[in-house]
């Protein structure tokens, strides 16, 4: 009986979600690179490599588990924290207006103490918390950080990824590119080995994607929860039996920028649903 | 403390010291894409080789390669590497041994890990400091590959 109910639920779910997924497929999950020297001929969201059931779960905002954290983030946005008596809303007001254009353009170069540094959304959130709010920094991949990151990036959902690799970002971009093609670990593999050379093929039951970043933070079945891009990087490195770089550190930031460029033009999907 | 120290020492011994008569990873020479002699001086065992070939914590060869005769017992063979049906007929044991030990000697761009090498690696955690396969496991897998004769 239990099995019957589950099957019925899946069937009903597919009937509702299938349409939305098909819409998404037609509208934006493939793009052609703009730049002639772009490393890819076709840019494909990880969404395309997942089953129709997974796609449907993402497409339905009421079923997509990432939205539970987004709601938490929305509450935190209004919550006063720290010695300055401020919430995010105290300065940025409505998140939809205040954070427009952030999710599609980060990581980016920002000025800190007269120096240009590369920052992603997580690092920028903590900068705001410690410098402007007088609040404690949030740890990577804790629910507060995930919720706020999803809230901020989701404002740009559907907007094309558009990171800048010009000017002072160029060095970080070059470093990210170097890391992408460097072999690591006992298995001696580079990101490019799987995600450039063999995307679309299978390693055992895993369908290799291009390793695009446009849906992060993402809900992942394997995690039974939501996680950050840097957590995913870390997992990939552990899979090849390598010592991961630290989350939020220079190496992963550079890689995040480089991968943003590899996915230039893909729609922001945060919060996406993946395997 | 002692509880942790003893397994630690044992692991270190396993990872670094070769058995008597075994060729250490750094001493293996690949000549014209071949390693003629057994790494252990002993013949491989195909039955043990099959287990090491399939084992996800050993060779995990099905991650990338299809072997048709294993489809009944193992689901989801990978497709990143070439199918291995018939390799025992096409290649000699010396060629297969070289390929398993370090396929990058033949093709530096390959995705295939070197299963019996410890040098030239990057950011390897302590617990993976040794080779992926032991010398005997390499021999056993080579023996198993030699049984794959039907294309």
Please give the residue that has the higher pLDDT: either A12 or A184.
A184
> In this structure, is residue B43 part of a structural domain?
yes
Q: Can you tell me the mean pLDDT for A170-187?
A: 98
- Please give the average per-residue pLDDT across A47-73, as a whole number: 94
Domain that holds residue B67: 24-146
**Which domain covers residue A96, as residue numbers?**
67-154
Distance CA A81, CA A77 (A): 10
Q: Give the best residue of A182, A184, A186 to mutate against chain B (max B CB count within 10 A).
A: A186
Tell me the mean pLDDT in the region B46-55.
98
State how far the alpha carbon of A50 is from the alpha carbons of A45, A199, A264, A272, in Å. 10, 13, 20, 11
- In this prediction, residues A26-48 reach a mean pLDDT of 82
A188/B113 touch (CB, cutoff 8 Å), yes or no: yes
**Between A32 and B63, whose confidence is greater?**
B63
| pLDDT score of B14 more than 90 | no
Task: Name the domain count of chain B.
Answer: 1
Mean pLDDT of A236-256: 98
* CA distances to B48, B64, B143 from B83, in Å: 21, 9, 17
Residue A22 scores a pLDDT above 50: no
Which of A154, A175, A199 delimits the end of a domain? A154
Is there a contact between A215 and A269 (Cβ–Cβ < 8 Å)? yes
- Min Cα distance B126 → chain A (Å) is 9
Predicted confidence band of residue A13 (pLDDT cuts 50, 70, 90): very low
H or E segment to which residue A77 belongs: helix A66-77
- A183: domain CATH number is 1.10.760.10
- Quick one: A145 and A229 in the same domain? no
Confidence band (pLDDT; 50, 70, 90) for A18?
very low
Interchain CB contact of A184 with B (< 8 Å): yes
DSSP string, B24-92: PGGG---BTTB--S-SSSS---HHHHHHHHH-TTTT-GGGT---GGGTTT------SSPP-TTHHHHS-
Clarify whether residues A61 and A163 are in a common domain: yes
- For the cut 70, the answer to whether the pLDDT of residue A232 exceeds it is yes
Q: Which of A48-62, A163-177, B52-66 has the lowest mean pLDDT?
A: A48-62
Which of these three, A138, A154, A170, is where a domain ends? Answer: A154
Contact indicator for A46, A274 with CB cutoff of 8 Å: yes
A83 plus A148 within the same structural domain? yes
Residues A208 and A224 in one domain: yes
For residue B106, pLDDT over 50 is answered with: yes
Is the pLDDT confidence value at A249 over 90? yes
**A128 catalytically annotated:** no
The pLDDT > 90 percentage for chain A reads 85
Per-residue pLDDT band at B150 (split at 50, 70, 90): confident
Of A19-23, A147-151, A189-193, A249-253, the one with minimum mean pLDDT is: A19-23
Cβ atoms of B97 and B39 closer than 8 Å: yes
In a domain, B69, yes or no: yes
Same domain, A52 and A111: no
In this complex, the residue of A182, A189, A204 whose CB is nearest that of residue B78 is A204
A91 and A212 assigned to the same domain: no
What is the count of structural domains for chain A?
2
A27 pLDDT exceeds 70?
Answer: no
Q: Where are the beta strands (DSSP E) in chain A?
A: 30-31, 43-44, 108-112, 115-119, 202-203, 206-207, 218-220, 225-227, 272-274
Is B3 domain-assigned?
no
A131, A171: one domain: no
pLDDT at B19: 64
Tell whether B16 is covered by a domain: no
Which CATH number characterizes residue B69's domain? 1.10.760.10
The answer as to whether B5 is a domain residue is no
Measured between beta carbons, the chain B residues lying within 8 angstroms of A184 are 122-123
Asked if pLDDT for residue B3 goes beyond 70, the answer is: no
* pLDDT > 80? residue A5: no
Shared-domain flag, residues A205 and A242: yes
Given a cut of 90, whether residue B61 has pLDDT beyond it is yes
A133 and A256 within one domain:
no
**Same structural domain for residues A107 and A192?**
no
Q: Examine the domain organization and report whether A74 and A29 are in the same domain.
A: no
Chain B contact residues (CB < 8 Å to A) = 62-64, 75-80, 104, 111, 113-114, 120-125, 128, 132
For chain B, the maximum distance between any two Cα atoms, rounded to a whole number of angstroms, is 55
Cβ-based contacts of B77 with chain A (< 8 Å):
204
Among residues A88, A191, A194, A236, the one annotated as catalytic is A236
**Is B136 contained in some domain?**
yes
Q: Span B82-99, mean pLDDT?
A: 97
Residue B10 lies in a domain: no
pLDDT band at B18; cut points 50, 70, 90: low
Residue B99 inside a domain? The answer is yes
A43-47, A235-239, B65-69, B147-151: the lowest-pLDDT one:
B147-151
Question: CB distance from A275 to chain B under 8 Å?
Answer: no
Span A230-245, mean pLDDT?
Answer: 98
Of A154, A179, A196, which residue constitutes the final position of a domain?
A154
Count the neighbouring beta carbons within 10 Å of the beta carbon of residue A89. Answer: 15
Q: Say whether residue A198 is in contact with chain B using an 8 A CB cutoff.
A: yes
CB contact under 8 A, A186 and B113: yes
Give the span between the Cα atoms of A47 and B50, in whole angstroms. 36
Same domain, A57 and A81: no
- CA B3 to chain CA centroid, Å, is 31
A76: which residues sit within 8 A by CB, 6+ positions away?
A88, A144, A147, A148, A151
pLDDT computed for residue B151 by the predictor: 66
User: Which residues of A fall within a CB distance of 8 Å from B124?
Assistant: 185-186, 241-243
Q: Are A38 and A173 in contact (CB under 8 A)?
A: no
């Amino acid at each position: 009986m239990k099995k019957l109910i589950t099957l019925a639920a899946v069937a009903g779910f597919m009937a509702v979600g299938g349409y939305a997924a098909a819409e998404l497929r037609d509208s934006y999950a493939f793009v052609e690179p703009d730049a002639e020297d772009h490393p890819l001929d076709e840019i494909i969201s990880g969404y395309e490599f997942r089953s129709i059931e997974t796609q449907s779960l993402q497409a339905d905002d009421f079923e997509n588990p990432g939205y539970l954290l987004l709601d938490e983030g929305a509450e935190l946005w209004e919550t006063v924290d720290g010695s300055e008596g401020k919430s995010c809303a105290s300065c940025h007001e409505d998140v939809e207006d205040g954070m427009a254009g952030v999710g599609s353009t980060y990581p980016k170069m920002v000025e800190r103490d007269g120096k240009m540094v590369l920052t992603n959304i997580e690092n920028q959130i903590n900068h705001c918390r410690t410098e402007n709010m007088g609040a404690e920094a949030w740890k990577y991949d804790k629910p507060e950080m995930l919720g706020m990151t999803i809230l901020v990036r989701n404002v740009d959902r559907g907007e094309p990824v558009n990171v800048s690799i010009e000017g002072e970002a160029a060095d970080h971009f070059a470093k990210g590119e170097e890391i992408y093609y460097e072999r690591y670990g006992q298995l001696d593999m580079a990101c490019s080995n799987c995600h450039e050379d063999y995307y679309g093929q299978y390693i055992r039951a895993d369908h290799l994607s291009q390793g695009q970043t446009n849906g992060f933070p993402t809900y992942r079945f394997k995690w039974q929860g939501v996680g950050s891009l840097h957590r995913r990087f870390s997992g990939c490195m552990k899979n090849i039996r390598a010592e991961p770089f630290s989350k939020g550190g220079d190496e992963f930031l550079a890689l995040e920028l480089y991968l943003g460029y590899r996915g230039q033009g893909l729609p922001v999907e945060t919060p996406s649903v993946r395997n | 403390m002692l509880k942790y120290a003893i397994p630690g020492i044992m692991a270190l011994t396993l990872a670094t010291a070769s058995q008597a008569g075994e060729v250490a990873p750094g001493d293996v020479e690949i000549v014209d894409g071949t390693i003629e002699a057994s790494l252990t001086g002993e013949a491989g065992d195909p039955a043990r080789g099959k287990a090491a070939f399939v084992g996800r914590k050993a060779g995990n060869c099905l991650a990338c390669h299809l072997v048709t005769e294993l489809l009944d017992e193992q689901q989801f063979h990978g497709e990143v590497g070439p199918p291995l049906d018939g390799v025992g007929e096409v290649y000699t044991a010396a060629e297969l041994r070289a390929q398993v030990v370090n396929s990058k000697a033949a093709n530096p761009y390959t995705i295939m890990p070197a299963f019996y090498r410890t040098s030239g690696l990057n950011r390897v955690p302590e617990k993976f400091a040794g080779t992926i396969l032991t010398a005997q496991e390499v021999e056993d897998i080579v023996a198993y590959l030699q049984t794959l004769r039907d294309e």
